[in-house]
Structure 1
Amino acid sequence: MKLGAMRPCRLPPAIAAAALAAAALLVLFRASPYGLAYPRAGVQPGPPLVARGPGSPPSFAYWISGTGGEGRRVLRLLRAVYHPRNQYLLHLDAGASRDERTELAAAARDEAAWREFTNVDVVGESYAVDRTGSSVLAAALHGAAVLLRIGADWDWFVTLSSWDYPLVTQDDLFYAFSSVPRHLNFIDHTSNLGWKEHERFEKLIVDASLYMDKNTQPFPATETRQMPEAFKIFTGSPWVILSRNFTEHCVHGWDNLPRRLLMYFANAAYSMESYFQTVICSSSDFRNTTVNGDLRYFVWDDPPGLEPRILDETHFDNMVNSSAAFARRFAEDAPVLKRVDDELLNRSSAQLVPGVWCRNLGEKQGGGDVKACSKWGDINVVRPGRAGERLRRFMSEIIHIRGCTVTAAS
């Protein structure tokens, strides 16, 4: 991707950094309903109580992001990862029109379960995002801040995009994560920067999406900088599963490290691939809670490009055997997604994933399967399948090696 394709009036890097910090922290001071198109104001909580604590299943806060034309993809992904125990925040960036956000908010009331349990929200305000710059990091921190405010008890923050899809049910995920301490963070990371040292961190960019109304490509600044001495940069996958404690640390920052690094990465390309890695590996409180893996399945070209390959049915067996919880990237309505629905999730593309929590979903009635939940079961009971057992075994293997190892440059 060419960074010099558009050159609006430049902001000095320090000003761009301040804009990122303001965008990330503004939500903490915003009055209810936090810019949500579908807030819970005036809506009564769902009838079943969600059990919390060490003896109960964990829960997740999902930030699901997309852009213009991806509302249907976001909804399909939401249905595939939905469970009443979780919290969901959907976001369409400035590439989507106001009508698209309105339609997404209306769709978030379509399912009886979503109305009953009031755990699906949509960001109603439009702001620009570019995944190659720091505006996508600001968006993720905004999503984390909102989810912390509206969901009091979730255990892990999960970032997904409309190009992602689960390979396990939520019952499988609950079962696997119930076997690990809830302070652990699953972040793919390395200190071996290679070519990224010069291209990502010594070179500076200005992310115009921080101050433009429309999604805008970053452009290179004339300045360069030396590598930092006060901290070691780590990089890795932009897709993370973060503990609630670490998410709170990144948003609220009881020491100054998250803010210092936020300012630094404001002018780094692909800052979403380095910010959380560097914060956690630079923190004595959290570095030993780090598991080096994001539980995602990707396929890269050789040499790798900026994005992994589009997955199809030729990748299905490898996906299943990978013990990953999620995979990317998928084309919209790709045949392999139907196979995942049929063979791994036991759902049609238009329904939620069956479970104990929904008593009637999937039952035979009137010559066909029931497509929507209307009878609630115990949402604190999970029934994992073989995928849950496989994921649990895999996680039990990888969690024993924790921390951030500084590797020698190759």
Structure 2
Amino acid sequence: MQNPTSPPPPPPPSSSSFSSTFFNLRDPKPKPTLILLYTFLFLSLLSLTLILYLSHSTIHTHSGPDPFLHPTHAHRLVFDPHKPSPPPPPSVAYLISGSRGDAARILRLLDAVYHPLNVYLLHLDASAPHTERELVAVTVQSNPIFKAAQNVHVVGKPDFSYPKGSSPVSLRLHAASVLLRLSRDWDWFVSLSADAYPLVTQDDLLHILSFLPKDLNFVNHSSYIGWKEARKLKPIIVDPGLYLSEGTEMFYATQKRELPSAYRVFTGSSFSILSRRFMEFCILGEDNLPRILLMYFANTPSSLSNYFPTVLCNSRQFNRTVINKNLLYAVQDSQRNDLRPLNSTDFDDMIQSGAIFGEKFQKDDDPVLDLIDRNLLGRSPRSVVPGGWCLGEPGNNTCLTWGDAKILRPGAGSQRLEKAIVELLANGIFRSRQCIYE
């Protein structure tokens, strides 16, 4: 029997190969080769753990839009071999903006103009309470379609945007720059206020736009100033939306200034459909003209209706791309010098106009909007407008099952829009109405 106080005997020779892979606890100085070996084993184990963790995380997160909406290899449809395949659909970048009390209108308008190919930026100005902005953001995040396509974004730090002054121009230039950072794949920029609504589906619109040159700009414009010279161009104002954190009245100076002679001022409407190339021209600084005009119109009462028409018509690069029609249906109220609210009695005229959008509608539950949804868009309450990418069963959940977003199913709206575009472009008539000095 061994003495309990005596040290244990050395391991038998047969176990030397096994024990050599571990530190000898009785040896205070392990061999350098063993240290390198264990370091390598530790790093290998750490790398394997990290790879498994990242692989597991990738399963639960998406780095891009759902592949069902934008497949790498789109499934082929059966086309008539004797007919040429249609051109690929374009993309539209939308700014949808509103003010206090417009959250529900913005969300309804988003549903009415939604398509997975487009990109959207929602903006509630600084006068809206935080609860409304939070409601818009939560609704967007909880929508499975918006979440799958990842193309709807909400402005978290809003600005004031007054109807007058230069803050509306600032908002649109800022929004376009954000949309360019989010995506460079869009072709046209459209700014919609909360009181606007579409009169054709996005499949109708994208189908017609796919046949047009992507540098066209649809802008109402005229060099005839008339009464606007004294009331909207010569007065000097200071827009508080550019420097105050709270809404306040516009400040008018006592002095007035003469019209510029270095360039010709054009006037138009606040709504337009502008090409991505032109928006890049205004934002990226290829030419100093957009900045010069921005500084001039910063202190005029109606900057938005003058800025883009003046930049377009004074630029040799873009003055031949202008179509003197913005494709918006609106009725002017001559007594109030503002747009008259639209109602159900205007429905037939809206259809006959061939316009893409209508403005202005009074509220989000206006009966005329339900009439447009039912007869023109085929939209069910609280759902997006169905298109060729929707593969679900007819009903409220039609678009919860989706296919390739590039598949379009244009309807009667595309025929109305096509007729309107053909009338604009036929026989080169639009050339005679481009940036003419009157």
Question: TM-score band, normalised by the shorter chain?
Answer: 0.7 to 0.9
In 2, Cα distance between equivalents of 1:43 and 1:78: 24
- Greater shift, 238-247 or 212-221, is seen at 212-221
Equivalent position amino acid for 2:184 in 1: A
- Where does 1:211-360 land on structure 2 (aligned, <5 Å)? 211-301=243-333, 303=334, 305-332=336-363, 333-360=365-392
The 3 A distance-change label for structure 1 pair 378 and 264 is same
Find the aligned partners of 2:335 and 2:437 in 1 and give their Cα distance: 21
Distance apart, 1:218 and its partner CA: 1.4
Counterpart Cα distance in 1 of 2:90 and 2:152: 18
Q: Distance in 1 between matches of 2:385 and 2:423?
A: 28
**Residue 123 (1) aligns with residue 144 (2):** no
Of the candidates 209, 218, 221, which is equivalent to residue 189 of structure 1?
221
* Aligned mates of 1:208, 1:178 — CA distance in 2: 41
1:174 and 2:206 aligned: yes
Counterparts of 2:383 and 2:255, CA distance in 1 = 52
Deviation, 1:126, is 2.5
1:398 equivalent in structure 2? 424
Deviation at 1:179, TM superposition (A): 2.1
1:154-165 matches, within 5 Å, as 154-165=186-197
Query: Could you tell me which residue of structure 2 aligns to residue 82 of structure 1?
Result: 114
Task: For residue 96 of structure 1, report the CA deviation from its aligned partner.
Answer: 0.6
8 A contact 2:386–2:398 mirrored in 1: no
The superposition leaves residues 197-223 of structure 1 with CA deviations (integer Å, 9 ceiling, x where unpaired) of: 121111111111111112333121122
Does the 8 Å contact 1:60/1:155 carry over to 2?
A: yes
What is the aligned partner in structure 1 of residue 65 from structure 2?
A: 45
**Mean CA deviation greater in 101-110 or 215-224:** 215-224
TM-score by length of 1: 0.84
Residue 49 (structure 1) shift: 2.4
Aligned position for 1:203: 235
Deviation at 1:131, TM superposition (A): 1.2
Shift of 1:234: 0.4
- How many residue pairs get aligned? The number is 360
Q: Hey, what's the Cα distance between the residues in 2 that align with 1:270 and 1:43?
A: 43
Which moved further from structure 2: 394-403 or 219-228?
394-403
Q: Is the 8 A contact 1:43 1:118 kept in 2?
A: no
- Whether the 8 Å CA contact 1:179–1:392 is kept in 2: the answer is no
User: Any idea what SS the aligned residue of 1:204 has?
Assistant: strand
Aligned residue for 1:145? 177
SS in 1 for 2:277: helix
Contact 1:341-1:348 within 8 A present in 2 as well = yes
Matched residue, 2:45 = none
Residue pairs, 1:370-389, within 5 angstroms:
370-371=396-397, 373-389=399-415
State the secondary structure of the residue aligned to 2:181.
helix
Paired with 1:85 and 1:130, the residues of 2 have a C-alpha distance of 31
Offset from partner CA, 1:153-180 (integer Å, 9 cap, x none):
0010001010000000001101111221
1:321-350 Cα distance to aligned partner (Å, 9 max, x none): 100000011111110100000000001231
Deviates more, 1:183-192 or 1:382-391: 382-391
Structure 1 range deviating more: 173-182 or 161-170: 173-182
After TM superposition, the structure 1 stretch with the greater mean CA deviation from structure 2, 186-195 or 105-114, is 105-114
C-alpha displacement of 1:133: 1.1
Report the alpha carbon displacement of residue 304 of structure 1 after superposing the two structures with TM.
Answer: 5.0
**Contact in 1 for aligned 2:176/2:279 (Cα 8 Å):** yes
- Is there any run of 5+ residues in structure 1 with no aligned partner, and where? 1-40
Q: Matched residues in 1 for 2:207 and 2:97: separation?
A: 26
Distance in 1 (alpha carbons) for counterparts of 2:319 and 2:250: 31
1:19 matched to which residue of 2?
none
Q: C-alpha displacement at 1:43, in angstroms?
A: 4.8
Q: Comparing 288-297 with 207-216, which one deviates more in the overlay?
A: 207-216
Letter in 1 for 2:413: A
- Name the structure where helix makes up a greater proportion of residues: 2
What SS is found at the alignment partner of 1:288? coil
Q: Is the 8 A contact 1:128 1:216 kept in 2?
A: no
Deviations 1:33-85 (A, max 9, x none): xxxxxxxx975322132799x93011100000000110000000000000000
Q: Following TM superposition, by how much is the alpha carbon of 1:241 offset from its aligned partner in structure 2, in angstroms? A: 0.5
Cα 1:139/1:50, change in 2 over 3 Å: farther
How many angstroms apart in 1 are the aligned matches of 2:267 and 2:277? 21
- Give the unaligned 5+ runs of structure 2: 1-60, 75-85
| Aligned residues of 1:184 and 1:291 also touching (Cα < 8 A) | yes
Cα distance in structure 1, aligned partners of 2:324 and 2:305: 14
Q: 1:305, CA displacement in angstroms?
A: 2.9
Contact 1:130-1:216 at 8 Å conserved across structures: no
Work out the percentage of aligned pairs sharing the same amino acid: 45
Task: Give the aligned CA root-mean-square deviation in angstroms.
Answer: 1.8
What is the alpha-carbon distance in structure 1 between the residues aligned to residue 173 and residue 231 of structure 2?
Answer: 24
Deviation at 1:396, TM superposition (A): 2.2
Aligned mates of 1:116, 1:294 — CA distance in 2: 32
Q: Is the 8 A contact 1:130 1:217 kept in 2?
A: no
Q: What SS does the aligned partner of 1:383 have?
A: coil
Give, in whole Å, the separation in 2 of the partners of 1:305 and 1:186: 26
Give the distance between the partners of 1:387 and 1:195, measured in 2 at CA: 37
1:62 match: secondary structure = strand
Deviations 1:208-249 (A, max 9, x none): 111111233312112211110100000111111001100100
Distance 1:241 1:268 in 2: 23
The amino acid that maps onto 1:330 is F
